[in-house]
Amino acid sequence: MQIIRRLEALRAMLTEYSLAGEPVALVPTMGALHAGHMALVDAARRRAARVVVSIFVNPMQFAPGEDLARYPRREAADAQMLSDAGIDILWAPPVEEIYPAGFATSVSVAGPISSVLDGAHRPGHFDGVATVVAKLFAQVRPQVAMFGEKDFQQLAVVRRMAIDLDTGVEVVGVPTQRDDDGLALSSRNIYLDTDERARAVALPRALGEAARGIARGDDPATAIATAQAMLTRAGFAIDYVALVDADSFGDPVRGRPARLLAAARIGTTRLIDNIAVPFD
Ligand code: PAF
């Protein structure tokens, strides 16, 4: 595995792959890697001859007051995991390789996909994500890129951007990886103390119960209220629990794929999760 920090060196390697006719898969990350990221790497390996993993803690997707400064940074440990997994390139650019002096472009996906739920609670977040992913796609020019379904709304934003900008990149969603008790793996889980970690399991449980209720024919509003009560009892402060159409993020439509998503804080840690809901 090569650790590359400069665009010129990245381009030279990518040209070699291209001349050899070797397709490239990209796994964009912000580091602090865990088994969820490694599932993306495994999926990438199955899809392309060459795998590039990027690690870049993207300042543009953090609002003032969010956890940019304390976001976990563990490049040496991450590099070891990626090298053990046999990836080809760790693309770890400094800020100026992504946002050089004078950088003035922002990619914004319009509509409910990026304006509701996390879009409403984290203004500017999805513009930051769409911009950095568009930039990474332009730098790495992959055939395929892997994103976790844990960030389900992000996945939808990136899919829309990839199509709208004719990137030619196939955006693949990889199922969420979970701890044994069901908590979705996240780099932010390390912020949880022992007590918070024990209570955090209420998040997947509440979503699971609500999804089963809706699938049985319960009124979605009642099922969501039950989930909210479970989360509140566990000590969560809720940003949202919502059922949306899985593609448009508008109101759910019977007979079409629906998704139940939640974001809630336990202590100072904001967790998100989501689950597919049969909605007939
Ligand atoms: O999901 C993440 O880790 C980030 O949002 C991403 C896609 C790497 C963009 O910075």
From its phi and psi, is residue 266 left (phi > 0), alpha (psi between -120 and 50) or beta?
beta
Cα of 233 to ligand 1 centre, how many Å?
Answer: 31
How many whole angstroms separate alpha carbon 18 and alpha carbon 20? 5
Q: For residue 114, what pLDDT is reported? A: 97
pLDDT tens-place string over residues 189-211: 999 999 999 999 999 999 999 99
Average confidence (pLDDT) over 181-193: 97
Cα 90 to Cα 5: distance, rounded to the nearest angstrom: 8
Tokens linked to 279:
């909605």
Same-domain status, 167 and 200: no
| Residues 142, 14 share a domain | yes
166 and 198 both lie in a single domain: no
Q: What is the CA radius of gyration of the chain?
A: 19
pLDDT at residue 55, as a whole number: 98
- DSSP code of residue 93: -
Among 53, 55, 58, 136, name the best residue to mutate to test ligand 1's pocket (greatest count of ligand atoms within 8 A of Cβ): 58
The DSSP symbol for 235 reads T
191 and 170 both lie in a single domain: no
Q: 140 and 24 share a domain?
A: yes
pLDDT of residue 36: 98
Band (213; pLDDT cuts 50, 70, 90): very high
Residues 125, 62 within the same domain: yes
Dump pLDDT digits (tens) for 158-175.
999 999 999 999 999 999
Q: Is the CB of 151 under 6 A from ligand 1?
A: yes
> Does residue 88 sit in the same domain as residue 170?
yes
User: What is the share, in percent, of the chain residues with pLDDT greater than 70?
Assistant: 100
| Domain assignment present for 180 | no
Q: The domain containing residue 41 runs over which residues?
A: 2-174
Ligand 1 centre to CA of 39 (Å) is 15
Q: Is 129 in the pocket of ligand 1 (CB under 6 A)?
A: yes
Query: Does 267 map to a domain?
Result: yes
Active site residues: 37
Closest-lying ligand 1 atom to the alpha carbon of residue 58: 10
For residue range 94-134, what is the model confidence (pLDDT) as tens digits? 999 999 999 999 999 999 999 999 999 999 999 999 999 99
Please give the torsion angle defined by the CA atoms of residues 25, 58, 200 and 53, in that order, rounded to the nearest 10 degrees.
Answer: 20
Question: In ligand 1, which atom is closest to the CA atom of 148?
Answer: 1
- Ligand 1 pocket member 131 (CB < 6 A): no
pTM: 0.97
* 149 ligand 1 Cβ < 6 A: no
| Residue 189: predicted pLDDT | 97
Which atom of ligand 1 is found nearest the CA of 187? 3
Distance CA 134, CA 245 (A): 25
Decide: helix, strand or coil at residue 105: coil
- Asked if residue 32 and residue 53 are part of one domain, the reply reads yes
Q: What CATH number should be reported for the domain holding residue 248?
A: 3.30.1300.10
Sign, CA torsion 197/61/108/165: negative
pLDDT in tens, 16-42: 999 999 999 999 999 999 999 999 999
Residues 244 and 159 in one domain: no
Same domain, 142 and 111: yes
Residue 54 maps to a domain: yes
* Inter-helix orientation angle 152-164/125-140, to 10°: 50
Q: Which residues contact 187 (CB under 8 A, 6 or more apart)?
A: 30, 31, 32, 33, 34, 71, 72
Closest approach atom of ligand 1 to CA 29: 8
Torsion sign, CA atoms 78, 83, 86, 89? positive
Is the distance from CB of 131 to CB of 106 less than 8 angstroms?
A: yes
Segment 73-94 mean pLDDT = 98
Q: Whose CA is nearest to atom 5 of ligand 1?
A: 129
Quote the tokens at residue 278: 């049969």
State the CATH number of the domain containing residue 114.
3.40.50.620
- Rounded to whole angstroms, how far apart are CA atoms 176 and 162? 21
Long-range contacts of 100-105 (CB under 8 A, 24+ apart): 105/131
Count of domains forming the chain = 2
For ligand 1, whether the C-beta of 29 sits within 6 Å is yes
